[in-house]
Every structure is written in structure tokens, then in C-alpha cells.
Structure 1
């Protein structure tokens, strides 16, 4: 299915190159709705930006640039004339800030343009669902222009925006992860109840035990590497309080009152949420004071560590999940129905099956137009809010790649503000999850089904 969605997204990208390319590519692709293909295209754009930002952090890139003739302090044969460029500005954390600055502004501009769009019949729908070549050129031009911004207070000022935006995206990511946990458990429990197969029961048990085992292992490692027998009291407090909170949340998930209103809630959701809370705790402690952050000596500013890699993997998964997923019953509790796309007017949220279409006419049109318009009577998601989320996601990428600290500061992971941002988000994660458990019991008159 992932390959099919990739082909669908590639087909829409090819459509910007001309009718011939479009017909040749789209004829080999499965049909899909424009609400899905557009979201995948913007996700692809953000992935490309992330790769470009990662390239600027590649170890040894700055020394390699010194071999370029037109760079200042070049070790190769210099070019004639006075054309010299400070190539050091093209690498490192400051380069990541510039790339993400331009990309974030692009999504903010798109959010402003899409305010008030109600259906694909709006003249602005073409801007949302097409002109991909122009959009990429705008983003590339913006990134190039961002490198001409004087350093001055740019880094320290943009870091504040990055921390606020990154925190907001973490909250959105929390909602998606909680929704994923509920959806996963509901699906597997439903399969077990329908088939009464021991295989599904074993899979549920194995997944739950694996997540809890990883959670416990993470807690132990945090105590080992991020605390000391004497000192690091704040780190000990963070680890201990989060351990207590995940135990409480797990206990709440199996209370009789909760099971009465949500018979499919259980320890599988709790284990997934607990594992993510441990990751957030680890990420927060990485910005603790030097003697407590588990880092010995100075690290290379342009290298990647495990925290960055895991953070980016979680980000990619959440972005793909939000792009391909449509809102379901669990979304009413997790509030993710404001983030995920609603089902299309024809009940189609993703790929269109030409052989089993709603009727012959729809199937015939799907064969001609591989990207089917399912938003003629109303948008499947808020286009403006979608771009706001992607702007925040860009800031989250920026802060993750730069380890949440000012690139112009001394080479240190210490950042008290970042530590509190991430530890607070871990508490919000547990609070949000507990709310999804108790909400049906607290408000029995509301329909959460």
C-alpha cells in the first residue's frame, strides 16, 4: 500500500511537468483522492527539506567545502577576482535554521491563502492541489534567500520561535500517537473478538509486554546514565515522577468504570504511551546541566546522535500517519478529528478501487482521472490548519536537528528552557491519555462511539 501511495504522489508531482509526463505516469498509478495525494505531496516536500537540512550537518562537510575554489580560506587553487563566499554559512546548525525558516514561511503563507476554503470548487483549490513545480521553486528560492540574512540576532530570535512551535507540534504529535495507540488496540481486539484466534491474543500480549519491557529498560538506563548518587536531584525527580505517572495511567486503563464505557481499552495503549513518555523524558534530560546529561566531553556540532535519529523517525511516522489516516471513532476521544482528514463525500479517504467503485460512472471517471476530486461538496480537512501543522512540524525538525539549543552558543547541550518544554510535554501526554480513558465515564451523555 505504501508503494501505491508513493506512486500516486509521484504521479501528481509529474503532472507539473506537462501533459505528456502526466499521462504516461498517471496511467500506471492507482487512483486516489486529491485529499490524500495533496497531503502526501506536502509530506514529501517536508521530507526533502529535512534531508537537505541533514546534509548540512554531515560530518566533515565543512572541511570538504574548503576545497571549493570560490570559498573563503580555500585550500585549492583560488579563482581569479574578488568573488569569494563564506561557505561556512552553508553548513552547521545555523544552516538548518535558515532552511527551516524559509520552509516555515512558505507553509505560513499557504495557511493564510487557504483561510476560508470550503470545497475544491473554490478558485484557490488549484493552489492547494497543484502547481507543484512552482511551489518547489518558491521553497528553493526562499531557502537560497535565507542564507543572505545577516547572522546578528537571527539565531537567538528564531530559536525562541522554534521552541514555541516545536512544543506546539509535540502536542499535536502526542494526539496522533494516542490516537494511533487506541486505533491499534481497537483493531487487534476487534480481530480477536471476531475470530477468537489465539494468534491475535498472543500478538496483543506480545506487543504489550514488549513495549512495557522497553519502557522499564529505558527507565533503568535513564537512572544509570543521567543521574549520580550525589546530585542531579532534578533529573531523579523527572524520571521518578514519570515512572509513577505511567504506572497510574496503566492502572486507570483497566479500572472497571473505564472498562464499562471502553471495553477495548487496556494495557496495550498504556504500553505505547509509556514508551513515548520515556523517550520524551530522555530527550528532556539530554538538555540537563552538563554533569547530568549523560554526555562526556564535547560532541561534534555537526554529528547526529541517537536522540535526533529517534526523534526524526517518530516525526516521519507521525507525518505519514496523519497524511494517510482518516478520522475514525477513536478520533472523537483523542480530538485528532481536527487533524486527520474526514472521509470523502463518497466515503473514500484514500485509494480508489476501480474494480469496486461506488458505481460504474465513478469507476469510469477514476480510470480517466487518477487523482479523484472527493472534496467538491466540502473539504476533507481544514486546508489552512493543515499548513499551520506543517509549519509547526518544520520548526520541530529544526529544533530536533539542532538538539534544541542556540547554534551560536557554546558547544553544550545545556538548555533549561528546552528541558522544561519537553518534560512538560511528557506530562501533557500522560494527561491526554488519561483523559481519553475517563472522558466517556465523566460525560456519559456524550457520544464517543
Structure 2
């Protein structure tokens, strides 16, 4: 009796969730226990935290009189600018890490932790507000320590995002190879690969024009030229007879690598003569504001898309979701958002709490540039290893 009752209750829970996917957003929110809608609400909370961090950095001076009453702020000096960002980031990280601890290894929809993840929004809203306020009462030394730890957490986020992107590229290539009409998909893959390589070459040429206008810009010339070499390396490894992965995946990965290199050069300080784009946008205009807004939205979208992609870290790729299983990994989802909180904290302060950041800017400074460049090199190493690893394993098994 008990087992049949639990099975029936589990089926009712799953059916209610599946039916709620077709309802309106307001109807889904009123249901209170829908993991599909919960993803977007968590992303909205994350966006609010980003906005609060930006306000604390650029427009927090209006709250000077109120912050002077807080002991941890020492006359409001330690609650604005870079430390204001870190305090908001700490509160956001604490919230999502708490959610990670309370939802990790949730596997079935009928578990109470599924209701906690997908509902109780009034309680979680109060919890998030409280956890953002508490860091403003903490001494500055603790915030500085969190800033050092956040460097590592942001690096973990970049690594997780990198693996997710590479897994998506591999999945896309696998779909083309297993298509029912391989001839048609082969033509589409060739066109997509050719387009990717053309965009890569155009991007590299534009970076030479914008960020290496003179021969004295040796560092930028090295960054751009080395990106071209890495593109050639990925293509050569992919076309090796033992790998035989084709042109598509190195072309798509080349787009990502060129984009990272462009972000790295764009992060160089505006005072550098080799960065003409930064010199042209020295004053805050509408284009700078739009770029800043797009950058914030990109952080939220990247965190959201990576958080729901827990399958890229499954060792058993053929595992099929059974009836009553959760639609995505709750623990991994919140873990990505927790590291994403450290990541946006680093972007807002340019990965350096002592570097002065101009208003309406994000991810600017030499530290940001080198973080992007190292991220590019690590991305190529991971991609090449994912191509070579199956060949190495087969050779070891054969021997």
C-alpha cells in the first residue's frame, strides 16, 4: 500500500510539473513547485545581484550617510567601490552555496528538497536580502580574504563554462554524424565550418587593425598571432588520420578562441596607445552604456546556460532520465551560480580590488587581459586533449 501510494504521488507530481510547462508564466509562478520556472527566477535573482553590485560600485556614494553607521564600513570607505562589489558578491555567493548544500543529490521529484528548490520564493527572497545585507557588517579584512578566494572560484566558473561549450560543440558534431540523411547534413556542416573559418580570419584581421596599429604593439601582435597559430593547431589535430574529427568542431572552437582573444584585447586599459577602440570610447556615451548592459546580460545568460548543462560532466552519456527524475541537476545548477557570483565580482573590479574602475565599464585592466589570454590557452589545451584522449585510450587498451 505504501509503495503504491508513493508511486502514485510521484506520478501526480511529475504530471503536474509537465502540465505546468504549458501554462503561462504567472500560472507557473502561482503553482509554487515548478523546477522549469524556478530556473528563470534564480536567474532573475542573479541579475538583481549584478545590478546591486554595479550600483554599489558606481552610484553608492549617495548612501554615504547611512553607511557611516555600519561598523564594518569604517566611515563608508570600505562599503563602496571594489569592496562594495565584493560584499554584494559574497552575499550572492552565500545564497547560492546554501541552495547548493540543501539541494545537492536531489534525484526524484517527490523529494521534499524538490519543493524547496522549486518553491518557497517568499522565504528565499528574504534569505537573499538578508545574506546581501550581512556582508556590509563584516570587517574589511574578511572581505579582502573573500576577494582572494573569489579569484579561484571565478576560475572554476570559467573552466566549467569552457567544458560546457566544448561538450556542446562535440554534441553538435555527433548529431551531424548520426543524422538520418548524412549527405544533406554533410553539406550543412561544410557550409557552417566554412562560415566559421571566414569569421575567424575576418576577426583576426580586424584585431590587427584595431589593437596592433603600430609595430611597437608587440604584446598585442603576439596575442593575435598566437591565436592564429592555435587555430591552425586545432585544425591540424582534428584532421589527423587517427583523430579524423573534420573541419566543423575546430571551426566552431576557433570562433570561441577568437572571441576570447578579442575580449582580452578589449580589456586593456584605455590609456594604452595600442588600444584605439578604448581611446575612441574614452567618454561615456550611449554605445558604452549599451555595451555595459549587454555585458551584464551575457554574464547572466552564460551562468544560466552553463548551470542547466550538468550532463556535460556525466561519465555515462547514455544514461536516460527515468520517470520521476528531476529535469536537471539542482546541486550543479546552484554550484554554477555560486561560482558565477564570484565571477561577476571579479569582472566588476577588473580582477584587482586596487585598480580604479571607470563608470559603465566592466572587465577592464591588465589583470583581466591576462585572465582572458590564459583562459584562451587553457581552452585550446582542453579541446585538443578531448580530441586526442580517445586515441590514447584505444592505444593503451590495444597494448
Kept after mapping to 1: 8 A contact 2:307/2:336? no
Kept after mapping to 2: 8 A contact 1:298/1:411? no
Greater length-normalized contact order (CA 8 Å, ≥ 6 residues apart): 1
After superposition, where does 1:19-418 map in structure 2 within 5 Å? 37=36, 41-54=38-51, 57=54, 62=59, 95-114=84-103, 124-149=113-138, 152=140, 156-191=144-179, 194=181, 196-197=183-184, 200-259=185-244, 265-288=245-268, 290-291=271-272, 292-294=274-276, 295-296=278-279, 304=289, 306=291, 309=294, 312-313=297-298, 316-317=301-302, 319-320=304-305, 322-323=307-308, 327=311, 331=312, 336-337=313-314, 343-346=320-323, 373-374=324-325, 381=329, 383-406=330-353, 409-411=355-357, 415-418=365-368
Shift of 1:438: 1.6
RMSD of aligned C-alpha atoms? 4.4
Q: Number of matched residues? A: 363
Find the residue that maps to 1:266 and give its secondary structure. coil
- Larger relative helix fraction: 2
Kept after mapping to 2: 8 A contact 1:53/1:95? no
Shift of 1:222: 2.2
Match of 2:14 in 1: none
Query: What is the CA–CA distance in structure 1 between the aligned matches of 2:219 and 2:44, rounded to whole Å?
Result: 36
- Normalising by structure 2, what TM-score? 0.73
User: Which residue of 364, 377, 380 maps to 1:427?
Assistant: 377
Once the two structures are superposed, residues 218-251 of structure 1 have per-residue CA deviations (whole angstroms, 9 ceiling, x without a partner) of: 2222222223524332332222222201111012
Task: Classify 1:208/1:6 alpha carbon distance in 2 versus 1 (closer, same or farther; 3 Å).
Answer: farther
Query: What is the CA–CA distance in structure 2 between the aligned matches of 1:186 and 1:345, rounded to whole Å?
Result: 23
Task: Classify 1:277/1:205 alpha carbon distance in 2 versus 1 (closer, same or farther; 3 Å).
Answer: same
Query: What is the CA–CA distance in structure 2 between the aligned matches of 1:158 and 1:341, rounded to whole Å?
Result: 39
Once the two structures are superposed, residues 362-383 of structure 1 have per-residue CA deviations (whole angstroms, 9 ceiling, x without a partner) of: xxxxxxxxxxx325xxx963x4
Query: What is the CA–CA distance in structure 2 between the aligned matches of 1:308 and 1:275, rounded to whole Å?
Result: 23
Which stretches in structure 2 are left out of the alignment for 5+ residues? 1-19, 70-74
Task: Classify 1:196/1:209 alpha carbon distance in 2 versus 1 (closer, same or farther; 3 Å).
Answer: closer
Query: What is the CA–CA distance in structure 2 between the aligned matches of 1:306 and 1:62, rounded to whole Å?
Result: 18
Which stretches in structure 1 are left out of the alignment for 5+ residues? 17-21, 23-33, 74-81, 260-264, 347-372
- Normalising by structure 1, what TM-score? 0.66
Match of 1:15 in 2: 31
Match of 1:437 in 2: 387
Shift of 1:385: 4.0
